[in-house]
Structure 1
Amino acid sequence: MKKHKKTLLYILISIPPVLGFLALILLWTSSTLDNIIDPFLKVTTTLTISIIFTILVLIGINFIKTNDMLKLAINVAISAFLAIFILYAGKAIYDFENTLKNITKKGYEYYSTAFVVRSNSNITSLLDLNNKKLGLLNDETSYEGYIIPKEEIEANEINANIDYENTFLNLISELLNGTYDAIVLPETYKEAFDFEEELSESLENLKTIYTKSKEVKKEQTETKPIVKGEPFSIVLIGTDKKIVGNRTDGQNYDVILLITVNPKTSDVLITSINRDTYVKSKCLNGYDRINHSGWAFGNPGAECLLSTIREFFGIDVHYYAMVDFKGMVNIVDAIGGIKIDVPKAFCEQDSNRKKGRICLKAGHQKLNGEQALAFARHRKTTSSTVRSQNHVVVIKAIAEQLVSVNLVKNYSKLLNIAEKNVLTNLNEEQMMQLYEIGMDWLKTSNYNVNNLRIENVVIKTSGSIWGYSANLNYPVYMVIPYQNHYERAVNLINTVLEAKTPTISKYLSFDLKKPFSFPDGPLQPREPDPRVITKNFVGRPESDVRYWDTKFMHNFWVTYEYEYHDTIPNGYVISQEFPVGTKLNYRTGMKVVISLGKKSDYISVKDLVKNLTGKTIQQIKGYLNNLGLKHRFEKVTDVEDPNVLHNTFIDIDKKTKAKKVIYKPEHKDETIVYIAFKGTEEMKTTKPIIELYGNPEITLEYGSTWNDPGCYYFHEFYWYDLDFTKVITNEDGIAIGIDTKTPGTYIITYTVTTKDGVISDPVKRTVIVKEKEEEQETSDPIDENQTEPSENNEDENQTEPSENNEDENPSEEGEE
């Protein structure tokens, strides 16, 4: 064998060991492996792999010397396989570490603002906001409600009339009421505020015209370290909003599980907390639903939830892990689905909040991601307690499937999902400690999740009660935990945390396959105080009061009185019986006075019909225009009453008649007026009539502005199908437009043609444009005999339209 060929073969057999050693060095420098692999095992593994590579190289050299190419190829293949395996392991560790960094990241927070208008608005861009009324949040620390909008307004030089509201919900309400032309909201406002059906419908009447995003650096705050072997608690949060960046605010926390772990005893207690539980929030300054801890944009989000849970249960909990619903769907799909015994058939919304999209039959079955999410969320045909238990059932099923599937095959998918859909305040070291605890449990349980000591407690709560949200300044559905259930749950949590022998051992016998319940006993709601606090309704629309009234109707009511008011608009509150901040007891009523607006703004339908009876179409048109009522005419041809004349009033539409009273400023519906239409031969030959507005001859100064006063046209029998024509010519009959910088005489000819082709007599108006006057020198003497123009010249040369003409109010087609 030639020398250079041998050299190439020596290099070939050396490449896999070199790559393998490099990968091994990188692998051992991983901080992740430092936490899960014993140093002695590292040394042993390194020596073993080194010996294997050395042997393979020596054998390969021997094959080169004996020129045994087949055995050499097998030798190189084995060496390459070992190197690839080490490289693959290194890549897996690298991906794992990178995912840990991303889901525990503290580097930035992501904010996105939307400029929002009503769906029927003609505003389509930021530039359209010039001289418009724009609503911002009255909070200079809010990125989405104040900081980003202010920056965009300044950058785009928008000259808008800015006013402020205290909450985003107030901004939405005032936009829909017409107070603002546009407002600013978080970009995800439709998802974030879609917690009540009525509010959800209102959001459909809004549209986004512009969005702007911003990343903001955030200082890292260290959490309390996990001491190996010591008990700890972590809160698992499920949210229906996509996790973006490092933000946990602006979320609806649909799933809240307090997981208490004791590594010494291998006990895990999962306490299911109803998302609607009414508690005193540590950071929202009052009582609210516990899931609203993360709702308010700009608040601490998950940290607020942790502080509330610490206060509520009196325990030390510092960690959370948040998973969005899309993440759960993708995880279940990535592991091939989960097996669940569905107790009864139901239909539920999907992860995109589309109602009725997911329907399941009763029985043991394998569920995909969307089906598993629907099972975990459903409560309408069961109860909140059962839903809370189902959360744990799904988690257990996922754990069972994770153990049984080939994780080596699916790990890259799962890591990718975790990176996009999971967020936690645990650092990498704490995450690896949890991994160690989990692996120890799997070993002791023989890798069978059913053998683990996992208990679940659901705190029973009261039925539906509507309470006041300190966060939203809004009435919300909520439940109150029963005192005895709450106290026993606290006892169980402390038992696991303190690693003591359970004092109430019979309560730790929960089987995931059987429903859990505390022993029978008096069920006493743990009621917060106050239950209802009045808000300020004065100057607010009646709809705000009625929504609040509806939500509190079980324990509070409002009585309404109405009166005319000269300054407060119709439908807005004049006064309320109790001032803002009053604490109201159960079954307390409050009187609210609502404005009807000015008395002159009303007309009874009975009077309206009376005033129209016997009138012709021209008279009706003038009367309704003066009232400011939109209207249109419809002909009635089968009129048999000989006393009813052609072109006269018969009736108005049923919808308008049903109103009884019309409030003219807000009467936006079109009133239909039915007119008698009796056909005759005379109608086909009668000419339309044209009447000019203003003088038939008008003189204009050179370069002045020309506005045609227009004309009024009508037909004795028709009020529709009239074709109006206007032609402008010079004295020679040549068509030309009126140019006030071209002196001369212009003639405007108006004609109207019926549908039968009958043309009106032409009506003409003469417009004379005067010659340009020469400019006089200021030093020229003033001619004392010169007559000053009369102040009344203009009135003498042009007769103003009569009041009758104004009352006739011509159709838009006739006005130019």
Structure 2
Amino acid sequence: MAHQSKPSLMRIRMRSHQRSSVNKEMNALKKKKTPIWKNPVFYLSILMVVVVAFLFFQIVKLNLLPNTLVGIIGVVLLIFIVLTILFGLVLGRSRKGFRIFGIILSIVLIGTSCFGSYYLMNANGALDRIASDSNYDRHTIQLYAVKHSSLNSEKDLNGQTIGILKNSQRTYVNKVIKQLKADKDIKFTTKTYDSSVELVNDFLGQKIDCMMIDASNLSVMEEMDGRQDIRSEIKSIYKYTYYVKKADTSSTADVTSDAFTVLISGSDSRGSINETSRSDVDMLVTVNPKTHVVLMTSIPRDYYVETTCEASMGCGNGEKDKLTHTGLHGIDTTEMTIEKFMDMDINYHVKVGFSTLSNLVDELGGITVNNPQSFSTGNYSFQQGTIELNGEQALAFARERYSFTEGDKERGRNQMRVLTGILNKVMSPSILKNYQGIMNTLADSFQTNMDTDDISALVKEQLSSQASWKIYTTSLDGTTGTAYCYELGDNASVVFPDDNSISEAKTNIQAVEHGEDPPYASQS
């Protein structure tokens, strides 16, 4: 027994010595460990927290996602932060593998957050640009010469004759004339015309050397017989830009609970969305967010109405003209004119550059449209029935009118069909898949006086409820005829409003506002 106990005692002593050695090594390691603030992983973790926090701020600022989903995203991001710190700084101090995993997780989280923040910042910036409805409309006075003329700048005007119009832009034309004569010492004569037709005829017939007009008037001149290509026959040799203050026409509503009406005006401008031009499309969209009903009311562009605006806006207030010509003085003039002949209030307006409509449709991945009759236009043929349209097809579909017996009226219906297709896409969760691209496209081609908070609230409410909407459409009617148009200074083809049609449209709008289905409209 004594012989057996000796080795056992030695083993005990050896183990005790080993434990003592291990403890000494552990203590030595603890003493050698670098303070946490001297650890590079510490600063990587701080950067990660800041970047992730900024991402969450952008998500909150976007204000589109339901609060519950935002909360879940916040919790998930917090869990990732805790795990990254746990592996990188706590467990990683003694285990190299944990530290490497924590570093990799930090880098991935930083990269993902930077990309997401950039995406959301662009989207938020685009939304701000859409809702940044400027307080001023931009106009340009242009001095034109015929294309083959030897006149190339204002310096060539000495001894020349310039034709001008006697219309609402005369104040600014006079200012340019004074500037050229007094400030630049250029000597020329002017001839005043009451009629745009006479001015263009004399100008292109070389009875006068130049014409000076507001550039937006060119779109009016394109309506004249044989003058569709006038832009290709002339050149600009001098221009002067001026700004006209807009009227405050918005009437706010709680867009998540109260019914509201938006004027959608499609501009035919070839330049910036800020430039004034004819209102090629005029449509009232009445929305009831409680009953989830949308009513679109199309108004013929040639409706013969009394122009209404404030004196500062420069229009022919009280003069009779086509509705499309009111756009020459800004969407506020169009809105106030419609409010008067419809005897109603419009809450907001949206100005749309219809030439860039194709970009929006493409960003949405195309739209589905129910086409009641087959027709062809340009390079496109549209079959009867449910059809899929890309951007260029949608634009062609919305602009054609010569293929229909009812002409502009059927074109208005097709524009509502395209808008219905767009709304169906926008009101689905798929909008989030390419939200940045959609918003950037809208920023380039849309402008509204609706507040960004209202826009966000609408999208957020739809994403939360996932409600299906009933969309109704109707059109104002009238009789085609000829009448004097103020902006043209001559007679032109117009549509005389049908009072019964206007009365039915007002009844439809009031029904939607009161939570009822519109009695004189068709469901899409």
Same fold (TM over 0.5): yes
Deviation at 1:213, TM superposition (A): 5.0
- The residue identity in structure 1 corresponding to 2:41 is L
CA contact (8 A) 1:334 1:410 kept: yes
Q: CA deviation at 1:357?
A: 4.5
Deviations 1:47-67, CA, capped at 9 Å, x for gaps: 664454133202222442234
Structure 1 residues 481-492: aligned runs within 5 Å: 481-492=497-508
Structure 2 CA distance for partners of 1:245 and 1:197, relative to 1, 3 Å: same
> Residues 82 and 457 from structure 1, CA distance in 2 versus in 1: closer, same or farther, beyond 3 angstroms?
same
Aligned residue number for residue 301 of structure 2: 275
Give the Å deviation of 1:399.
Answer: 2.7
Correspondence 1:762-781 to 2 at 5 A: none
Q: Give, in whole Å, the separation in 1 of the partners of 2:466 and 2:456.
A: 18
Calculate the aligned-residue CA RMSD, in Å.
Answer: 3.5
One-letter identity of the residue aligned with 1:230: D
Q: Does 2:108 match 1:77?
A: no
1:460 and 2:472 correspond:
no
Q: Report the alpha carbon displacement of residue 160 of structure 1 after superposing the two structures with TM.
A: 1.7
Cα distance in 2 for partners of 1:336, 1:95 equals 20
1:306 is aligned to 335
Q: Give the structure 1 partner of residue 454 of structure 2.
A: 430
SS of the residue aligned with 2:496? coil
Residue by residue, what CA displacement relative to the aligned partner does 1:252-301 show, whole Å, maximum 9, x if unpaired?
22221111122232222111112222223324423322222213xxx3x2
Shift of 1:44: 7.8
- The residue type equivalent to 1:127 in the other structure is K
Pair 1:444–1:27, CA change in 2 (3 A): closer
**Which residue of structure 2 lines up, in the alignment, with residue 316 of structure 1?**
345
SS at match of 1:172: helix
- Answer yes or no: is 1:288 the counterpart of 2:305: no
Aligned pair partner of 1:385 in 401, 409, 418: 409
Residue correspondence of structure 1 range 620-635 to structure 2 within 5 A: none
CA distance in 2, matches of 1:403, 1:226: 20
Contact 1:133-1:161 within 8 A present in 2 as well: yes
Aligned to 2:438: 414
The one-letter amino acid of 1:395's match is: L
Show the counterpart of 2:523: 511
| Paired letter, 1:280 | E
Do the aligned partners of residues 491 and 221 (structure 1) sit closer, same or farther apart at CA in structure 2, a change above 3 Å counting?
closer
Matched, 1:98 2:98: no
One-letter code of the match for 1:293?
T
Identity of aligned residues (%): 22
Call closer, same or farther: CA 1:41–1:414 in 2, change over 3 Å.
closer
**1:196-595 matched pairs, under 5 angstroms:** 196-200=224-228, 203=230, 206-214=233-241, 216=243, 218=245, 221=248, 223-228=250-255, 229-242=257-270, 244=272, 246-247=274-275, 249=276, 251-283=277-309, 284=316, 285-295=318-328, 299=329, 301-348=330-377, 356-362=378-384, 364-382=386-404, 383=406, 384-402=408-426, 406-439=430-463, 443-445=465-467, 451-462=468-479, 464-497=480-513, 499=514, 501=516, 507=520, 510-512=522-524
* Post-superposition offset of 1:158: 1.9
Q: Which amino acid aligns with 1:366?
A: E
* Aligned residue identity for 1:371: Q
Distance 1:340 1:27 in 2: 33
Deviations 1:609-653 (A, max 9, x none): xxxxxxxxxxxxxxxxxxxxxxxxxxxxxxxxxxxxxxxxxxxxx
Instruction: Check whether the contact 1:109–1:245 (CA below 8 A) recurs between aligned residues.
Output: no
**Long gaps (5+) in structure 1:** 349-355, 446-450, 513-816
What displacement does 1:132 show?
1.2
- CA spacing shift, 1:511–1:323, aligned 2, 3 Å: same
Contact 1:108–1:245 (CA<8 Å) still a contact in 2? no
Highest Rg: 1 or 2?
1
Deviation, 1:119, is 3.6
Q: Matches of 2:249 and 2:321 in 1, distance apart?
A: 28
Further displaced range: 172-181 or 388-397: 172-181
How do 1:46-195 residues align onto structure 2 when only pairs under 5 Å count?
49-69=77-97, 71-103=98-130, 104-106=132-134, 108-138=136-166, 145-148=173-176, 150-152=178-180, 154-166=182-194, 170-187=198-215, 190-195=218-223
Q: 1:275 to 1:168 in 2, by over 3 A?
A: same
Label 1:399 to 1:81 Cα distance change in 2 as closer, same or farther (>3 A): farther
The DSSP-based 3-state class of the residue aligned with 1:493 is: helix
Q: Which residue of 2 aligns with 1:448?
A: none
Once the 2 structures are TM-superposed, how far is the Cα of residue 204 of structure 1 from its aligned partner?
A: 5.8
Could you tell me how far apart the structure 1 residues matched to 2:176 and 2:273 are? Answer: 17
Contact 2:120–2:436 (CA<8 Å) still a contact in 1? no
1:284-320 deviations in Å (ceiling 9; x for gaps): 423322222213xxx3x21111112112221111421
Give 2:440's aligned amino acid.
N
- 1:157-214 CA-to-partner distances (Å, cap 9, x unmatched) read 322223444565554344235442112233455445312333325x268421414353
Q: Could you tell which deviates more after superposition, 6-15 or 374-383? A: 6-15
TM-score (normalizing by structure 1): 0.53
> 1:107 deviation in Å?
5.2
User: What is the correspondence of 1:643-682 to structure 2 with a 5 Å cutoff?
Assistant: none
What secondary structure sits across from 1:317 in the alignment? coil
Q: Distance in 2 between matches of 1:124 and 1:42?
A: 60
- Distance, in Å, in 2 between the alignment partners of 1:141 and 1:288 is 16
- Does residue 21 (structure 1) correspond to residue 53 (structure 2)? The answer is yes
CA shift in 2, pair 1:105/1:438, >3 Å:
same
For residue 26 of structure 2, what is the aligned residue in structure 1?
none
Distance 1:239 1:330 in 2: 15
Aligned length: 481
1:105, CA displacement in angstroms? 3.2
Matches of 2:455 and 2:437, distance apart in 1: 19
Deviation per residue, 1:207-243 (Å, 9 max, x gap): 2141435364857847322235222111111222235
Matches within 5 A, 1:718-733: none
The SS at the match of 2:253 is: coil
Whether contact under 8 Å (1:137, 1:167) holds in the other structure is yes
> Partners of 1:387 and 1:336 in 2: how far apart?
23
Contact 1:335 1:405 in 2 (8 A): no
Residue 59 of structure 1 contacts residue 75 of structure 1 at CA under 8 Å; is this kept in 2? yes
Aligned partner letter, 1:130: N
Rounded to whole Å, the distance in 2 between the matches of 1:222 and 1:313 is 15
The Cα offsets for residues 14-59 of structure 1, whole Å up to 9 and x where unpaired, read as 431232234445665x4x53x8765x98788656644541332022
- Structure 2: give runs of 5+ residues left out of the alignment: 1-31, 310-315
How does the TM-score come out when normalised to structure 2?
0.80
Change (3 A) 1:62 1:105: same
Bigger drift between 414-423 and 216-225 goes to: 216-225
Cα distance in 1, alignment partners of residues 281 and 486 from structure 2: 21
The Cα of 1:3 is off from its aligned counterpart by: 4.7
For 1:292 and 1:72, the matched residues in 2 are separated by 70
Q: How far does residue 138 in structure 1 lie from its aligned partner after superposition? A: 4.8
Cα distance in 2 between the residues matched to 1:378 and 1:141:
31
Distance change in 2, residues 1:138/1:189 (3 Å): closer
**Quick one: which amino acid aligns to residue 105 of structure 1?**
D
Superimposed CA distance per residue, residues 340-381 of structure 1 (whole angstroms, 9 cap, x where no aligned partner): 344444333xxxxxxx34444555443222211111122222
Query: How far 1:82 moved relative to its partner?
Result: 3.7
Q: Deviations along 1:583-605, whole A, 9 cap, x unmatched?
A: xxxxxxxxxxxxxxxxxxxxxxx
More helix by share: 2
1: distance between equivalents of 2:84 and 2:223? 66
1:746-761 map, 5 Å: none
Offset of residue 146 of structure 1: 3.7
Answer whether contact 1:237 1:321 (CA < 8 A) is retained. yes
